[in-house]
Amino acid sequence: MPARSGVDIGGTFTDLVVVDEASGAVRVGKVLTTPKDPAQGVEQGLLALLAEAGVPAGSVIAVVHGTTLATNALIERKGARTALLTTAGFRDALEIRREGRYDMYDLSIDPPPPLVPRHLRREVPERLLADGSVLHPLDEAAASRVVESLADEGVEAVAICLLHAYVNPAHERRLAELARARLPEAVVACSSEVVPEIREYERASTTAANVYVAPLMARYLADLERRLAGLGIPGQLYIMQSSGGIALPPDARRLPIRLVESGPAAGAIAAARAARERAEPRVLSFDMGGTTAKACVIDGGMPLVAREFEVARADRFKKGSGLPIRVPVIELIEIGAGGGSIARVDRMGLLKVGPDSAGADPGPACYGQGGRLPTVTDADLLLGYLDADFFLGGRMRLDRAAAERAVAEHVAAPLGLDLIAAAWGIHRVVNENMAAAARIHGIERGRDLRAYPLLAFGGAGPVHCWQVAKILKVPRIILPFAAGAMSAWGLLAAPLAFDFVRTQRARLDHADWASLNRLFGEMEVEGRALLTRAGVPPEVVRVTRIAEMRYVGQGHEVEAAVPFGALSPTSLPDITVAFEAAYRALYQRLPQGVPIEALNWRLTVAGPPPALSVGAVPARRAAGVAAKGQRRAWFAEVQGFVDTPVYDRYALAPDTTFEGPAIVEERESTAVIGPGARCRVDAGLAIVVEP
């Protein structure tokens, strides 16, 4: 029978899912990530999971993959040696940025340096005007000399970003031909291909980041395809994009910058799918793994999507302190708060947790792999939340004594606390950090999170959801089955999709509707061609159109839907209503008598989402006695340890009810539920917890 697999590489664990296409049965797995060779962990994990599930490798028709490799390369500055070719006079656009300071009161702020050092940023003589007309033609002789000078610099990648190239890409394309002819081994990309829209700094930053990670991603994807073939897997490899759609490897190699948030996006897609199946109008997705925690607001069964985000922020919570990346991305907030986050006492005597992580190597102290620093997982073990003999279903035994030594030496002794008080302090601090980040995420989008159920997943999400939910005052908690590998499942729920954008500034009351129709038509033809090559039948393709609009004189835009069909003056009322609704939702009022203008026009083409259900009967579920016994666990409600019932997740049948305190164990994660909670297992095997 055909099967599909999803593989999500995290900082600590690699999560895997195999779904039987005929029965819908799901089998999940989790293995330690291999940071030095991520594809090795994928290979080992798939080999073990397919054998355990009894699924022949030859029956796997698709493998969908999410990875943080591109993000890590940008953060750690481990990408290619990159050069930038730009219009004469604009060499320092990457350095000048937006001129603003992300913290106007801090005189010592230090934004992240550009990916391209100044001596590798070269100018070429040419100049286009804002309408795309040529003021100064490209001086090909001078441009050739500039490219020639890069040959001796050991350049591996070349980004080309010329002024106003989003309107007229002719100069960029010719310059790319010259660069490829002289530097055949280097990756070359034009801004008019990567991000063809207005705003010079963001366009240059995104194009530079794209080529910076391109060689690394090309090598990795080639290695992964080779390893999958070596396993005997004939199915197509797909890659998750930051926007929540999946793409084929050639497109991923061409635009690797669209993969920067592919792993976190998969979790949000899974949460959105679960919300739709449960008919929940809104949920707050809470995904806590071994290295990071992610929160995402989901309204109407769909995650919010942003058109720009930042990586490598100098200050995690301050916008403008990182490198802007102008690509569609599922909008979520991510902080360094995971099971492997390291706890320490700073110079002021304050307890801090994260953002640095022990990762998979050496991992938390209790992993017994050489780690000596205390982490969140070590604290959770000491508080009784984790079973040392049942971690990863018993495949990995935790070392409690090592956890005690790490917490005692690095936290308890410096703070003058006993061991359990120190462990509870670590647990509480990380919960407060996550709740604060989620609250900021909601406030920035005008959402009151007290109306949003918390959908918790990830290896550590169910362990911490009870306290996070109490802080946020959410109405209930939803714990899906196989929560520890839900991001990998989300990979299989994503459709093939591609996003396109064009800049054409137009006042709506004086718009050139014929030109806009041509613009949308070109994007749709290109998108449908990509989906056709990927095997999507034309009749099932979905097309979405969006415009980024603002009132004349404003500096930033608001997105609103554009109606289907040929645009004309009769389309103006519908577009205006959509824009005003979106604007009012953000600002609660509308300017009077100010005309509306559009700047960017966006189109998304997508195939149908796979016919999978979050509530599919899992392959590991079996009838049995749900109660496994008791374990002493620490709860703030009683300020001490409580003999807590422990339940077998796989034996909890629909309509089962129980009360907190309770601990529910499955192989990939453990749920900790506090006193006073009412718990019910629904038809999809999710545990619904009401405080």
Q: How far is CA 205 from the centre of its chain?
A: 19
**pLDDT tens-digit map of 397-408:** 999 999 999 999
Same domain, 564 and 666: no
| Residue 602 confidence (pLDDT) | 95
Q: What is the CATH number of the domain that holds 540?
A: 3.30.1490
Query: Considering the domain boundaries, does residue 584 fall inside one?
Result: yes
Residue with tokens 């039987």: 20
Alpha-carbon distances of 91 from 86, 121, 160, 203, 410, rounded to whole Å: 6, 6, 11, 14, 47
Same domain, 203 and 225: no
Same domain, 512 and 599: yes
Same domain, 84 and 65: no
The three-point CA angle 201-202-205 to 5° equals: 85
Check whether the bond before 661 is cis (ω within 30° of 0). yes
| Residue 624 confidence (pLDDT) | 56
Which residues touch 324 (CB under 8 Å, ≥6 apart)? 201, 202, 205, 206, 308, 309, 310
Query: Considering the domain boundaries, does residue 289 fall inside one?
Result: no
For CA atoms 556, 558, 564, 568, give the dihedral sign: negative
Which of 383, 400, 428 is where one domain is finished? Answer: 428
Same domain, 635 and 600: no
**pLDDT tens-digit map of 485-536:** 888 888 888 889 999 999 999 999 999 999 999 999 999 999 999 999 888 9
**309 close to 320: Cβ distance less than 8 angstroms:** no
d(CA 45, CA 455): 26
d(CA 124, CA 91): 9
Which domain, by its residues, includes 91? Answer: 80-209
Which of 209, 228, 246 is where one domain is finished? Answer: 209
Query: Which residues, given as ranges, of the chain have pLDDT below 70?
Result: 314-317, 612-625
d(CA 92, CA 207): 15
| Residue 290 confidence (pLDDT) | 82
Query: Considering the domain boundaries, does residue 278 fall inside one?
Result: no
Same domain, 361 and 419: yes
The two beta strands, 542-551 and 627-635, are unpaired
| Residue 614 confidence (pLDDT) | 47
Same domain, 58 and 84: no
d(CA 122, CA 87): 8
Query: Considering the domain boundaries, does residue 469 fall inside one?
Result: no
3 state DSSP class of 531: helix
**397 close to 388: Cβ distance less than 8 angstroms:** yes
Residue type, 260: V
- 3-state helix, strand and coil shares in percent for the chain, rounded to the nearest 5: 35, 25, 35
**175 close to 193: Cβ distance less than 8 angstroms:** no
Same domain, 118 and 181: yes
For CA atoms 254, 191, 302, 534, give the dihedral sign: negative
Alpha-carbon distances of 184 from 83, 136, 188, rounded to whole Å: 14, 28, 9
Same domain, 227 and 194: no
Alpha-carbon distances of 249 from 108, 298, 534, 578, rounded to whole Å: 43, 29, 11, 36
d(CA 579, CA 117): 41
The tokens for 317 are: 């919570």
* CA proximity to 307, closest of 368, 232, 242: 242
Neighbours of 580 (CB within 10 A): 15
* CA proximity to 201, closest of 193, 191, 210: 191
Residue type, 60: V
Query: Considering the domain boundaries, does residue 307 fall inside one?
Result: no
Query: Considering the domain boundaries, does residue 564 fall inside one?
Result: yes
Same domain, 93 and 201: yes
Query: Considering the domain boundaries, does residue 401 fall inside one?
Result: yes
H or E stretch covering 400: helix 400-407
d(CA 353, CA 409): 15
Query: Considering the domain boundaries, does residue 321 fall inside one?
Result: no
Q: What is the CATH number of the domain that holds 242?
A: 3.30.420.40
Residue type, 668: E
Same domain, 531 and 598: yes
| Residue 687 confidence (pLDDT) | 95
Q: How far is CA 169 from the centre of its chain?
A: 31
Which of 546, 577, 606 is where one domain is finished? Answer: 606
Buried b (16+ CB within 10 A) or exposed e, 628-646: beebebbbeeeeeebebbb
d(CA 6, CA 28): 9
- If one counts the domains in the chain, the total is 5
Same domain, 198 and 88: yes
